[in-house]
Amino acid sequence: MNEKLGRGLSALIPDAVGESTPNQGGIGVLPVARIRANRYQPRKSFDVEKLRELSQSILENGIIQPLIVTKSEGSDYELIAGERRLEAAKLAGLESVPVVIRSVSEKEQLQMAIIENVQREDLDPIEEALAYQTMAEDFELTHAQIAQIIGKDRATISNSLRLLKLPAEVIEMIAASQLSAGHGRAILMAKEELQLPFAQHILKYQLNVRQAEGKAKDFSLQENRAAEKRYSDNSRFLEQEFRKVFNLRVKVQESRGKGKITLEYNNPYEFEQIIETLEKMR
């Protein structure tokens, strides 16, 4: 009796049955091959090492908590919750797993998958934000409604979704755990065109979130000053080079990355001189 309990819930279901399809809400066993991945699964990647650890635990103790599935078209079932357990069961070589079948809508299916992952902290900040975005866009839910479903406050949902406004390169840094969600919110404080350079600055100097928050506005000012100096130096260089070519007064005007170059001539002779110089340059 103790041996069976130690092997987990799957040990309590007779092997002789092979496959037992539970009634609605009841516990039964299904072949792994008949369970399809959840199309609304918010997690995009698995920690390989943790998956191996879970697989080893399943080999030793069985699957304690059954997977939740819903009936799909044909004779197959679609996973609602328990993707890590399913993947670990496959890795362990299990042919069947314990399940609970529920009849749910697409919205409920997504909600249950998100809730399980969020509660277990299995999602990275970008996966979590994308899951909330799906709930908002595909199911037309407000941030307040999502917060109520997930069990978090509205500001948390809104702040999570704001991360998706970052440049794609910064989003990838957060998804790869190079930067945290807190870093992402600090980066959003910088001007849009400076967000990627600021993210690279945070990585280079290994700033924590509080340091990044303190640096955000100052970084924008420093970059603007540096850019203005570069433009000023380049403008003077261009004026000198054009003077050498045309032997005329040249003025370079620049503002916010845009500008114009003006050649000044005082008589028809200097105008002809410009034309002759350009013809020689062809």
Pairing relationship of beta strands 27-31 and 96-101 according to DSSP bridges: antiparallel
Q: Which residues, 6 or more positions from 207, have their beta carbon under 8 angstroms from its beta carbon?
A: 183, 201, 215
Q: Is 3 part of the annotated catalytic residue set? A: no
- Looking at 83, 116, 127, 128, which residue is catalytic? 83
Rounded CA gap, 126 and 176, in Å?
9
Rounded CA gap, 191 and 197, in Å?
10
Q: What is the three-class DSSP state of 31? A: strand
Query: From the CA atom positions of the chain, what is the Rg in Å?
Result: 31
Q: Which residues, 6 or more positions from 56, have their beta carbon under 8 angstroms from its beta carbon?
A: 92
Phi-psi region of 33 (alpha: psi -120 to 50; beta: other; left: phi over 0): alpha
Q: Which residues, 6 or more positions from 15, have their beta carbon under 8 angstroms from its beta carbon?
A: none
Find residue 99's DSSP bridge partners: 28, 67
Handedness of CA 230, 236, 239, 242 (dihedral sign): negative
**Helix intervals (H) in the chain:** 2-6, 48-61, 83-92, 106-120, 125-138, 143-150, 154-162, 168-175, 181-187, 195-205, 209-246, 268-280
Catalytic center residues: 83
